[in-house]
Amino acid sequence: MEIVASVKDLQNLLSEKRNSGEEIGFVPTMGALHEGHTSLIDTSVRERKTTVVSIFVNPLQFSAEEDLDDYPLSSEKDKEICANHKVDLLFCPTQKEIYPEGSPELEEIGEIGKILEGKSRPSHFQGVATVVARLFEIVGDAHVYFGEKDFQQVMVVNDLVKRRRFPVEIVACPTIRQIDGLALSSRNVYLTEDQRADAPVLYRALNMGAELIADGEKSSENLKKLISDIVRNESKGDLDYVDVVDSETFAPVNLLSDSGKKIRILIACKFGSARLIDNIGVVIP
Ligand code: PAF
């Protein structure tokens, strides 16, 4: 594995790979790698000849009150994980390398990025879109692997790719979970023992919601109420939102009556200082 810090070095190495006909797989990360990330890396390694991983903690996607200063860093461990998972190129740029002009102009985001997470975390998706656009400019033609745990992020990035015509293909990969259903996230390290015991309620409640739809429920309001009640009754979590959207357009769905339509139920909830998100895909029967 080669570790590079400069854009120029990365681009030179990528040109060599492309000249020998190698397809590039790219996994952008903020480090603190866990099995959610390694499943993306493993998929890229399986599907593409060359896999590039970037590790860059992007300050633009954290608000002033959020956890940038406490964001878990584990650079030596991350390097070891990447090497063990057969990453070819590890890109660990400095702030200056990514944002040479200091504070860059923020990328525009469409409506998709303004609801749910976008509403709870204003400017978050603009920060994500800005760094992702920059990384796409640097890496160029590639298949880029994202986790469906951050379903709205995948939608925002797909929209960005379409609007900016980046020569990349987004590959959305399934959420990796612990045995009790808790979705893997770098934020899980903030959970106390009691909160960790509470947190699987999110996936449990999402699954109960999916069952309700399978049993014929047509009202999103009833669905959201069932899920909220489960989270409130079975945990000390502080629920932020539960919502239902069309999986393709991300438009809110009120009536669950369109047979065959693919929808996503999304949830965000705080357990102490850890704000966790999760989602599940359902096809309306
Ligand atoms: O999902 C993440 O880890 C980040 O939002 C990303 C895509 C690496 C951009 O900083």
| CA separation, residue 157 to residues 52, 108, 116, 131, 235 (Å) | 18, 11, 16, 11, 33
Indicate where the chain has its CATH 3.30.1300.10 domain(s): 186-283
Helix-helix angle 35-47:75-84, to 10 degrees: 40
* Confidence band, pLDDT 50/70/90 cuts, at residue 131: very high
**The predicted structure's pLDDT at residue 229:** 98
- Check whether 112 has a pLDDT greater than 80: yes
Determine the longest span between alpha carbons in the chain, in angstroms: 58
User: Which atom of ligand 1 is closest in space to residue 157's alpha carbon?
Assistant: 7
Is residue 132 lining ligand 1, measured as CB closer than 6 Å?
A: yes
Is residue 195 predicted with pLDDT exceeding 90? yes
CA–CA distance, 11 with 89 (Å, rounded to integer): 11
pLDDT at residue number 64: 73
Range with lowest mean pLDDT among 43-52, 69-78, 112-121: 69-78
Nearest-CA residue for ligand 1 atom 3 is: 29
258: number of CA atoms within 13 Å, CB side? 11
Q: Give the mean model confidence (pLDDT) for residues 155-180.
A: 98
Is pTM, for the whole model, over 0.85? Answer: yes
pLDDT for residue 214: 98
Per-residue model confidence (pLDDT) at position 72: 66
Give, as one character, the DSSP assignment of residue 182: P
Question: Which residues of the chain are in CATH 3.40.50.620 domains?
Answer: 2-173
Beta carbons of 45 and 86 less than 8 angstroms apart: yes
What pLDDT score was predicted for residue 39?
98
CA of 230 relative to ligand 1 center, distance in Å = 30
Residue pLDDT, tens place only, 205-250:
999 999 999 999 999 999 999 999 999 999 999 999 999 999 999 9
Tokens of 244: 């239902």
Give residue 58's pLDDT.
95
pLDDT digits (tens, 9 = 90+) for 51-97: 999 999 999 998 877 767 776 666 899 999 999 999 999 999 999 99
Write the DSSP symbol of residue 60: G
Taking the C-alpha atoms of residue 94 and residue 54, their distance in angstroms, rounded to an integer, is 11
Tokens encoding 130: 């800005």
DSSP symbols for 89-103: EEE---HHHH-TTSS
Query: Given the CA of residue 56, which atom of ligand 1 is nearest to it?
Result: 10
pLDDT at 32 over 70: yes
* Coil, strand or helix at 16: helix
Q: Which of 26, 27, 29 to mutate to test the pocket of ligand 1 (most atoms within 8 A of CB)?
A: 29
Average pLDDT score over residue span 141-146: 98
Whether residue 186 has its Cβ less than 6 Å from ligand 1: no
* CB neighbourhood size of 252 (10 A): 13
What are the two backbone dihedrals, phi and then psi, of residue 142, each rounded to the nearest 5 degrees? Answer: -165, 160
For residue 186, the ligand 1 atom closest to its alpha carbon is: 3
Task: Kindly state the percentage of the chain with pLDDT values over 70.
Answer: 98
Kindly tell me if the per-residue pLDDT of 178 is higher than 80. yes
- Looking at residue 68, what is its pLDDT? 74
C-alpha 129 – ligand 1 centre gap (Å): 9
How does DSSP classify residue 116?
T
* CATH assignment, 2-173: 3.40.50.620
- Lowest mean pLDDT segment, chosen from 66-75, 132-141, 182-191, 193-202: 66-75
CA distance 266 to 263: 10
Q: Give me the pLDDT at residue 67, please.
A: 65
Instruction: Judge residue 22's burial from the number of C-beta atoms within 10 Å of its C-beta, 0-12 exposed, 13-18 middle, 19 or more buried.
Output: middle
CATH code at 186-283: 3.30.1300.10
Ranges of H-type helices in 68-219: 75-84, 95-98, 117-120, 124-139, 151-164, 193-198, 201-214
- Alpha-helical regions (H) of the chain: 7-19, 35-47, 75-84, 95-98, 117-120, 124-139, 151-164, 193-198, 201-214, 220-234
37 counts as catalytic: yes
Q: Is 135 exposed, middle or buried (0-12, 13-18, 19+ CB in 10 A)?
A: buried
DSSP 177: B
